[in-house]
C-alpha cells in the first residue's frame, strides 16, 4: 500500500457505525390513476391493526422457517373412522395438530416461552394456550383455546368450531385473542406446499400447515406404498430458538402426528 492511500484511509475505530434499517426510504407516494383505472378501498380496523403487528414482528424478530413432512396416513384413517362412527362435532385435522403441538411444547419448553419486556429474560410458561388463525370477513383473527393439555380431541373440535364460527359471524374480543403460547396457521383446506408464517409475538414460534398430499414410499419388496403426507412449516424467533432445536421440535411433531393413538383420549 502506498503512503498516499494509507494517509486517507481512516482507522476502523474512527468510522461511524452503520445504522442499517433505520434509514429506510419513505413509502412511495404514487397516483396510480395516472397509469390506468383504479378503485380505492379503506382498510378495516382489523386489517390496519394486523398490518401494524405483522410489520413490527417481521422487522423485529429474526425469522427462520423450518420445513418438514408428517406421515398422517394412520391419523387420517382414525379421524375418518371416528367421523363415520358419528362424532358430535366433525373432527378436522386441527384438533390433532393442537394435541401434537401441546405434547411437543411439553418436551421442548423453550418453545412455550416469551422474552420479557426487557428482552433479557425468557419467561417459560406452564400452561398450554394455543392460538388458531381464522380467516374472516373482518380480516385475520386468532382466537386462543385455553388449557389445551386438559382437553380431548372431541372437546377441542367443538371449541374450535364454536369460536371460529363466532369469529366469522361477529368477530372476537381482545380477551378471546389474548394469552396464547403458540399459534397454528392452517391453510390446508386452501392448498399450498409450504409458506413462511410470521411469529405472533411475544410468542417465539408458529406452525404453518398446508395441503396434505399422497406421496409414494418404498414398501416391502420395492412395492409402492402411498402415504398421506402433511407439510409442516415452523417459523421461529432465532434469538430464542436455534436451528437444531427447531428441527428436533418439528421432527417430534411429525412423530406424534404419525401415531394418532397417542394423541387420542
Ligand atoms: N390437508 C388436506 N385437507 C385439509 C387440511 C390439510 N392440511 N386441512 C383441512 N383440510 C380439509 C378438512 O379436513 C376438511 O375436509 P373434509 O371435509 O374432507 O374433512 C376441509 O379441508 C375443510 O376444513 P376446514 O377449513 O373447515 O377446517 P379446519 O379445522 O382445517 O380449519 C380454520 C379451520 C378456522 C382454521 C380454517 O377454516 C381457516 O380459517 N383457515 C385459515 C387460516 C389463515 O388464514 N391462515 C393464514 C394466517 S397468515 O395470514
Please state the domain extents for the chain: 66-262
**Gap between the Cα atoms of 94 and 228, Å rounded:** 16
Buried b (16+ CB within 10 A) or exposed e, 152-174: ebbbbbbbbeebbebbeeebbee
pLDDT at residue 7, rounded to an integer? 59
Give residue 53's pLDDT: 96
202 prior amide bond cis, ω within 30: yes
- Ligand 1 pocket, residue 72 CB under 6 Å: no
Residues forming beta bridges with residue 135, ordered by sequence position: 140
Per-residue pLDDT of the chain (265 residues; tens, 9 = 90+): 455 555 566 677 677 777 776 778 899 999 999 999 999 999 999 999 999 999 999 999 999 999 999 999 999 999 999 999 999 999 999 999 999 999 999 999 999 999 999 999 999 999 999 999 999 999 999 999 999 999 999 999 999 999 999 999 999 999 999 999 999 999 999 999 999 999 999 999 999 999 999 999 998 888 999 999 999 999 999 999 999 999 999 999 999 999 999 898 6
Distance 187 CA to ligand 1 centre (A): 6
Position 189 scores a pLDDT of 94
Residue found under cell 390513476? 33
Q: How far apart are CA 214 and CA 38, in angstroms?
A: 42
Q: How confident is the model at residue 68, as a pLDDT?
A: 98
Please tell me if the CB atom of residue 131 comes closer than 6 angstroms to any atom of ligand 1: no
Alpha-carbon gap, residue 94 to 109, rounded angstroms: 21
Give the Å distance between the CA of 7 and the centre of ligand 1. 66
Which one, of 91, 104, 75, lies nearest residue 230 by Cα? 75
Residue 233 CB–ligand 1 contact under 6 Å: no
pLDDT value at residue 15: 78
The reported pLDDT for the residue numbered 4 is: 56
CA–centroid distance, 188 to ligand 1, in Å, is 5
Whether residue 134 has its Cβ less than 6 Å from ligand 1: yes
Instruction: Work out which ligand 1 atom sits closest to the CA atom of 136.
Output: 39
Cβ(154) – ligand 1 distance below 6 Å: no
Q: Whose CA is nearest to atom 8 of ligand 1?
A: 188
Under 8 Å between Cβ of 206 and 183: yes
Q: Whose CA is nearest to atom 17 of ligand 1?
A: 92
Which residues carry out catalysis? 238
Grid cell in block for residue 248: 428436533
Provide CATH code, domain 66-262. Answer: 3.30.559.10
**pLDDT on residue 3:** 52
pLDDT (0 to 100) of residue 264: 85
Torsion of CA 95, 249, 78, 73, to 10 degrees: 130
Amino acid at each position: 500500500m502506498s503512503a498516499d492511500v494509507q494517509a486517507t484511509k481512516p482507522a476502523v475505530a474512527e468510522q461511524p457505525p452503520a445504522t442499517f434499517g433505520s434509514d429506510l426510504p419513505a413509502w412511495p407516494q404514487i397516483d396510480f390513476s395516472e397509469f390506468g383505472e383504479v378503485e380505492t378501498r379503506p382498510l378495516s380496523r382489523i386489517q390496519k391493526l394486523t398490518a401494524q403487528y405483522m410489520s413490527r414482528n417481521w422487522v423485529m424478530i429474526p425469522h427462520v422457517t423450518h420445513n418438514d413432512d408428517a406421515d398422517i396416513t394412520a391419523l387420517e384413517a382414525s379421524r375418518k373412522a371416528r367421523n363415520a362412527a358419528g362424532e358430535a362435532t366433525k373432527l378436522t385435522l386441527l384438533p390433532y395438530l393442537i394435541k401434537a403441538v401441546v405434547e411437543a411444547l411439553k418436551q421442548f419448553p423453550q418453545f412455550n416461552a416469551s422474552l420479557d419486556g426487557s428482552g433479557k429474560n425468557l419467561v417459560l410458561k406452564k400452561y398450554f394456550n394455543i392460538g388458531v388463525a381464522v380467516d374472516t370477513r373482518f380480516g385475520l383473527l386468532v382466537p386462543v383455546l385455553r388449557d389445551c393439555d386438559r382437553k380431548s380431541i372431541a372437546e377441542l373440535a367443538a371449541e374450535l368450531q364454536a369460536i371460529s364460527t363466532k369469529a366469522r359471524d361477529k368477530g372476537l374480543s381482545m380477551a378471546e385473542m389474548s394469552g396464547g403460547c403458540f399459534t397454528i396457521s392452517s391453510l390446508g383446506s386452501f392448498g399450498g406446499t409450504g409458506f413462511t408464517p410470521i411469529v405472533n409475538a411475544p410468542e417465539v414460534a408458529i406452525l404453518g400447515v398446508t395441503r396434505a398430499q399422497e406421496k409414494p414410499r418404498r414398501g416391502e419388496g420395492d412395492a409402492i406404498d402411498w402415504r398421506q403426507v402433511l407439510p409442516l412449516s415452523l417459523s421461529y424467533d432465532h434469538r430464542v430458538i436455534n436451528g437444531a432445536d427447531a428441527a428436533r421440535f418439528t421432527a417430534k411433531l411429525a412423530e406424534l402426528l404419525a401415531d394418532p393413538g397417542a394423541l387420542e383420549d
